Amino acid sequence: MLLIEINKDDLEFVRTLADDQRLKYDVIRTDRFDGTGVDLVNVILPLSTAVLTSVTTIIVQLIRNRRRPKLKVDGVEVSDVSEDTINTVLLALIEKRSKREAKKTKKS
């Protein structure tokens, strides 16, 4: 799963995009602020090669709208990523997860 930390004001925008892409998602409301008094929420989306294009579309639209989403996957946090590199970053995170799961399977 991919956790995207966004401003609360961007939640409806992300929901609309996720619905348009037919992605299932969960929203976790937090009582955190980004240091400037902005409420933050976490949106949890699936992350796999099957939905990579859809997830990338959502993140690219946030970036184009001058938003700065923080992405968190398996303990790795990525922020300030450019529109040009988001797909590469997400693919690398998927690959890292796949390798880790393969190691777990070998040990079993």
| CATH number of the domain bearing residue 26 | 3.30.70.120
pTM above 0.85, yes or no: no
The answer to whether 17 and 56 have CB atoms below 8 angstroms apart is: no
Question: Where in the sequence is the domain holding 76, given as residue range(s)?
Answer: 2-107
Compute the average pLDDT of residues 92-106.
83
Q: Does 24 have pLDDT greater than 70?
A: yes
Total domains in the chain come to 1
User: Is residue 32 pLDDT above 70, yes or no?
Assistant: no
Q: How many alpha carbons fall within 13 Å on the CB side of residue 48?
A: 4
Residue 73 identity (one-letter amino acid):
V
Residue 27's pLDDT band (boundaries 50, 70, 90)? very high
Region of 37 on the Ramachandran plot (φ > 0 left; ψ -120 to 50 alpha; else beta): left
d(CA 78, CA 22): 24
